[in-house]
C-alpha cells in the first residue's frame, strides 16, 4: 500500500519531468535538430551494392518556402577522387519530410523526397530516407537514398604517413577492446611495463556505467597509447549502408570531438553477418571497405588469419590473437620466432577477461623481449609504417 502510493507519486513526478522534455526524449529517440545549418550527405544505394555519395561542401539550413542551395561534390567511388564537375545541392523541409535536388550545369541530375527517420542511436544526425530519381550516365534511374545532416564524410583521403625506422627486427602490438571501466587497470599494467597499446573504443559507450570515461581515455592517450575507433555502439551488424556510414563516420567524428585522432577502425566482433563483416579481402573491395579507407588509415577485421606478417608491413597486418590463450612459455617462443623472421605480431584482450596477475605475467614476457632487443612495442598505427634494419 505504502509502496504503491510512493510508486504512484513517483510516476506523477516522472511524467511531469518527462513532459518538459517531450515525447521524443522520453523514448530516447528525439530527432536531432533537422533545421539547423549543417552539411548534408545524400547516400544513394541499390540492391546491387552500388553506392554514390553527394555532399554539400559547407553547412546549409534546409529552406522552408524554397530550397536552400549550396555547392556540392559527388563521389562514385568512395575511396577515389570526386567527380570533376561542380554540383549544386538544394534541400527543402516540409514538416517531417525533406526534398532535395542535385543539379549540374543548371540541369537536375538527381532528386528525392523522404521522411524523417528517428530511432534510438541517431542523436546528432537527422536522417531522411526515400526513393531518388537519377539521370547520370552509368547510374540506375531509381535508387534508395538516405539524407544525413551534420555527419559529412571527409573531403580528403587520410594523408600518407612517413616510414618509422626501428632498431629491432620484430614488432609486437597490443590492443585493448571495448572501452571498459577496467581499462584503468590495463593502463596501470601497461605503464608498469613501459608498454603501449591501441584502445578500440565504441565512441557512444564512453562515459556509460561500467565503461571507460573520457577522463580515462585522456590518461590512456597521455601515456602514449592510441585511441582507435570501434564503431559507435558495438551493436548488431548494420542493416544497410547508411547505418554502416553512421557507425563508421560517426565514430571518427565522435572521437575527434573528444580530441582523439582515430587512425584505425576496428570492426566490432558483433558484426557477424553481411557486408560489414570484413571476413575476406573481397569485402574490402566493396563501398563498405572504400568508406573505411576514406575515413581511416587502416581497418582491423577478420580478412586475414596470418599469425604474423613480414616487416615492413606494406599494407598487411597480422590477426590479433587473444593474449589470454598464451601461457608465458608459448608467448615467449611465438614472439621470439616471429622476431627472428623479422615479423609483426599482435595480441588483444578485453579488460577483465583474465586474472590481472596473469595479464601482468604475459606483459612481463613482452617487456622482457623488448628489453632484450628482439622486438619493438608499437601501436598498430605505428607498426603499419615500421621499417626494421636490413637483415
Nearer to Zn ion, 34 or 175 (CB): 175
Nearer to Zn ion, 177 or 343 (CB): 177
- Grid coordinates representing 214 are 573520457
Cα–Cα distance for residue pair 64/120, rounded to 1 Å: 26
Give min distance, CB of 154 to Zn ion, in A: 24
Q: Closest separation between CB of residue 269 and Zn ion, Å? A: 5
CA distance 296 to 157: 8
**Alpha-carbon distances, residue 90 vs 31, 68, 72, 107, 242 (angstroms):** 21, 5, 9, 12, 20
CB of 267 to Zn ion, least distance (A): 8
CB of 252 to Zn ion, least distance (A): 17
Give least dist CB 200 to Zn ion, A: 6
Nearer to Zn ion, 177 or 228 (CB): 177
CA distance 305 to 312: 18
Answer yes or no: are the C-beta atoms of 351 and 183 closer than 8 Å.
Answer: yes
Nearer to Zn ion, 245 or 265 (CB): 265
What span, in angstroms and rounded, lies between the C-alpha atoms of 137 and 74? 13
Nearer to Zn ion, 63 or 352 (CB): 352
Minimum Å gap between C-beta 232 and Zn ion is 12
Query: Which residues sit at the interface with Zn ion, rule CB under 5 A?
Result: 177-178, 268
Residue 367 C-beta: closest distance to Zn ion, Å = 25
How far is CA 271 from each of CA 43, 161, 176, 301, 323, rounded to the nearest angstrom?
Answer: 21, 29, 18, 10, 22
Q: Output 268 or 342, the one with its CB closest to Zn ion.
A: 268
Residue 14, classed as helix, strand or coil, is helix
Q: Return the number of the residue (179 or 246) whose C-beta is nearest Zn ion.
A: 179
| First and final C-alpha spacing in the chain | 81
Measured at the alpha carbon of residue 330, what is the angle toward residues 374 and 230, in degrees to the nearest 5? 80
Q: Report the DSSP beta bridge partners of residue 108.
A: 103
Instruction: For the CB of residue 173, give the shortest distance to Zn ion in the complex, in Å.
Output: 16
Q: Which is nearer to Zn ion, 35 or 272 (CB)?
A: 272
Q: Which long-range contacts (CB under 8 A, 24 or more apart) does 88-92 make?
A: 89/40, 89/42, 89/54, 89/55, 89/56, 89/60, 90/63, 91/40, 91/60, 91/62, 91/63, 91/67, 91/147, 92/62, 92/63, 92/64, 92/66, 92/67, 92/68
Amino acid at each position: 500500500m505504502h509502496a504503491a502510493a510512493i510508486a504512484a507519486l513517483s510516476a506523477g513526478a516522472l511524467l511531469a519531468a518527462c513532459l518538459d522534455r517531450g515525447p521524443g526524449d522520453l523514448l530516447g529517440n528525439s530527432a536531432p535538430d533537422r533545421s539547423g545549418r549543417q552539411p548534408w550527405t545524400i547516400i544513394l544505394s541499390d540492391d546491387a551494392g552500388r553506392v554514390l555519395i553527394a555532399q554539400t561542401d559547407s553547412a546549409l539550413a534546409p529552406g522552408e518556402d524554397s530550397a536552400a542551395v549550396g555547392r556540392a561534390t559527388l563521389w562514385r567511388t568512395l575511396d577515389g577522387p570526386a567527380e570533376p564537375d561542380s554540383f549544386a545541392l538544394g534541400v527543402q523541409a516540409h514538416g517531417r519530410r525533406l526534398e532535395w535536388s542535385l543539379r549540374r550545369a543548371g540541369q537536375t541530375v538527381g532528386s528525392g523526397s523522404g521522411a524523417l527517420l528517428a530511432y534510438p542511436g541517431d542523436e546528432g544526425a537527422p536522417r531522411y530516407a526515400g526513393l531518388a530519381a537519377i539521370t547520370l550516365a552509368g547510374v540506375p534511374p531509381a535508387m534508395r537514398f538516405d539524407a544525413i545532416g551534420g555527419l559529412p564524410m571527409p573531403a580528403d583521403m587520410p594523408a600518407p604517413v612517413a616510414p618509422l625506422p626501428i632498431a629491432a627486427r620484430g614488432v609486437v602490438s597490443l590492443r585493448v577492446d571495448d572501452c571498459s571501466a577496467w581499462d584503468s587497470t590495463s593502463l596501470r599494467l601497461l605503464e608498469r611495463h613501459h608498454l603501449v597499446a591501441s584502445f578500440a573504443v565504441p565512441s557512444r559507450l564512453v562515459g556509460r556505467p561500467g565503461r571507460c570515461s573520457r577522463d580515462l581515455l585522456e590518461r590512456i592517450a597521455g601515456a602514449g597509447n592510441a585511441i582507435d575507433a570501434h564503431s559507435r555502439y558495438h551493436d548488431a551488424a548494420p542493416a544497410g549502408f547508411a547505418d554502416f556510414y553512421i557507425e563508421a563516420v560517426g565514430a571518427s567524428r565522435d572521437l575527434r570531438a573528444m580530441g582523439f585522432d582515430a587512425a584505425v577502425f576496428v570492426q566490432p566482433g558483433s558484426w557477424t553477418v553481411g557486408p560489414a563483416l570484413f571476413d575476406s579481402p573481397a569485402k574490402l573491395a566493396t563501398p563498405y571497405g572504400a568508406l573505411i579507407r576514406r575515413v581511416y588509415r587502416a581497418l582491423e577485421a577478420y580478412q586475414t588469419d596470418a599469425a604474423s606478417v613480414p616487416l615492413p608491413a606494406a599494407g598487411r597486418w597480422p590477426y590479433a590473437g587473444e593474449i589470454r590463450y598464451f601461457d608465458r612459455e608459448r608467448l615467449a617462443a611465438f614472439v621470439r620466432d616471429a622476431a627472428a623472421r623479422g615479423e609483426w605480431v599482435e595480441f588483444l584482450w578485453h579488460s577483465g577477461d583474465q586474472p590481472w596477475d596473469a595479464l601482468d605475467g604475459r606483459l612481463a614476457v613482452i617487456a622482457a623481449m623488448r628489453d632484450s632487443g628482439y622486438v619493438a612495442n608499437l601501436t598498430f598505427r605505428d607498426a603499419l609504417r615500421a621499417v626494421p634494419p636490413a637483415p
